A = this chain, B = another copy of it.
Amino acid sequence: MTTQVETTTPSAVLDRVSLVLDAFDGPGRLTLAQIVRRTGLPRSSAHRMLERLVQLRWLRRQGRDYELGMRLVELGSLAVHQDRLHRAALPFLHELHRVTGQVVHLAVLDGSDVVFLEKIGGRMAAAIPTRVGGRYPAHCTAVGKALLGFATDGELDAVDADLLARKTKYSISTGAALRTELAKVRAHGIAFEREESVPGFSCVAAPIGNIGEAVAAVSICGPVTSMRLDHQLAAPVRMTAMGIWRNVDGGALRVQPTLQQRSRPLLGGPTAVRPRSAVAAAPQDLQYA
């Protein structure tokens, strides 16, 4: 007996929807024929699913082309802004950008990649090809090294390889080099990166959370010509990470982000930076050096 109504398990349908949406990761606009080719789904059921996704605004159709739709923009934005970590971090990130003048990133670990949850930073931001929701190999970025240095053993397994893919010629490319680097990160509570992810840019990152349980990392990035990668530059980043951790973790002990203001951006100047409230807010149980 045949019926007109196609039936299947919910789980199988979810996998198909996921497969269809994954197909848009790259080209952007796809015709029905291209989606059928990329997903291997039967043409008729692919077409029915696409039309339903258009009705739900997960996709939109322009002539014969399908594109990701406005409902995904809304859901993605909700996912970021409902995130407790993001909410706790946002005022600190703005303050870090104001004080240092550099591009500020907030990122989380996802497998062997980092995914950026926030990016703040005026005009220079456009020169750095990262974006909220975008991903980079963790071992190529300062935020990724900060996260891996403070990660669990299970999380570290995801990047356990002898040879690692590189983003630039300066990227760490062997497991041995990465292990040496991560030992430094653990020792100092800070990760440096010089043109390892983006040519022409350096970054300084600090993990948010304790060794073995970092939940995110924060970084500042700027032109390699103007950023001196030393521990003076690391101070405001580390203090920001501490402030965020206290804000997301404590709840009762919320602090206002008020890093000490400087009259000009913090680029290797001679004066030591001592973010007052962030120091005052340093929780006792943090293991930063």
Q: Which residue in chain B gives the minimum CB-CB distance to A28?
A: B82
A200 part of interface (Cβ distance < 8 Å): no
Cα distance A57–B11 in the bound complex, in angstroms: 14
Q: Which residues on B sit within 8 Å (CB–CB) of A8?
A: 7-10, 13
- Interface with B: A66-74, A138-146, A167-175, which one? A66-74
What is the count of identical protomers in the complex?
2
A50 to chain B, nearest CB (A): 11
Task: Determine if A14 and B79 form an interchain contact, defined as CB atoms under 8 angstroms apart.
Answer: no
Q: Which residues on B sit within 8 Å (CB–CB) of A115?
A: 70, 73-74
With known contacts A24-B82, A67-B82, A73–B122 Cβ distance under 8 A: no
Q: Which residues on B sit within 8 Å (CB–CB) of A25?
A: 74, 78
A48 part of interface (Cβ distance < 8 Å): yes
A229 part of interface (Cβ distance < 8 Å): no
A59 to chain B, nearest CB (A): 9
Size class of A's contact patch?
Answer: 35 or more
A91 to chain B, nearest CB (A): 8
Q: Which residues on B sit within 8 Å (CB–CB) of A249?
A: none
A98 part of interface (Cβ distance < 8 Å): yes
Would you list which residues of chain A between 179 and 196 have a CB under 8 Å from chain B? Answer: none
1/0 contact trace for A33-74 toward B, CB 8 Å?
000000000000100110011001110000000011110111
A152 part of interface (Cβ distance < 8 Å): no
- Interface with B: A128-136, A204-212, A266-274, A281-289, which one? A128-136
- Interface with B: A15-23, A219-227, A237-245, which one? A15-23
Q: Which residues on B sit within 8 Å (CB–CB) of A122?
A: 122
Given contacts A10-B49, A122-B122, could you give 15 more A-B pairs where the C-beta distance is less than 8 Å? Answer: A6-B9, A8-B10, A10-B16, A10-B52, A14-B17, A14-B52, A28-B82, A29-B82, A67-B83, A68-B78, A69-B79, A70-B110, A73-B115, A73-B117, A75-B75
